[in-house]
Amino acid sequence: MKNSKPVTNEAKQKVAQNSMRFNRFLVFRYITALFFFLNLYWSILSIAYWTIAGLIPIILMIMDAVILVEQTQKYWQQSNRLRVTKIGFWIQSAVNLVGMLFALIGQPQIIVPFMNQTGRWLLVGLFTLGLLICGYVQRKIWLIEHDQDKYLTYLKAFEGMGGK
């Protein structure tokens, strides 16, 4: 039989607090995963019509992976700084804006080679939705970095109660 120490209430509180602090960034992990899979789909479809623009979703997927690494580190590094996440979502915003502009001027195939004129309004809608999501993420980043997010209020209340 192993000699195991009983888990103390203090250790349970520490784990609960770490988990709650980690969950403060949960929305970023979900949205990054969404963009990762959308970019993966975009890159797979672009392979058949390979152009230099096909590198865009691949670069975005690499960037998404780097964002996920930063987010995973938040479990051990209790910081509200989100430098990589912020830069990554600015880049994603820029790509969405450029894609929307190309679709609006009637040249969607420049950035999305598997689409033609008939799908241009679908692309405008998708790129606009992507811009809105990126704007939401940037707002959440700003709130967290300035300690003005609602989740921090809940976390402080939890810690004030002794983590119970």
**pLDDT tens-digit profile of 73-132?**
888 887 889 999 999 999 999 999 999 999 999 999 899 999 888 999 999 999 999 999
In the chain, how many domains are there? Answer: 1
Q: Which residues contact 86 (CB under 8 A, 6 or more apart)?
A: 138, 141
Residue 2 included in any domain: no
Residue 93 lies in a domain: yes
- Residue 107: CB atoms within 10 A of its CB come to 13
Task: Give the pLDDT confidence score for residue 132 in this predicted structure.
Answer: 98
Contact status, residue 88 vs residue 94, Cβ threshold 8 Å: no
Nearest of 123, 13, 111 to residue 53 by alpha carbon? 111
Does 3 reside within a domain? no
pLDDT tens readout for residues 16-34 = 776 777 778 889 999 999 9
Residues 6+ apart with CB under 8 A from 20: 154, 155, 158
Give a yes or no: residue 128 inside a domain.
Answer: yes
End-to-end Cα spacing for the chain: 31
pLDDT digits 0-9 by tens, 58-80: 999 999 999 999 998 888 887 88
Q: Is residue 8 part of a domain?
A: no
Q: Which residue has the tokens 């509180």?
A: 13
Q: Specify whether the CB–CB gap between 10 and 76 falls below 8 A.
A: no
**Count of residues for the chain?**
164
Parent domain of 73:
13-160
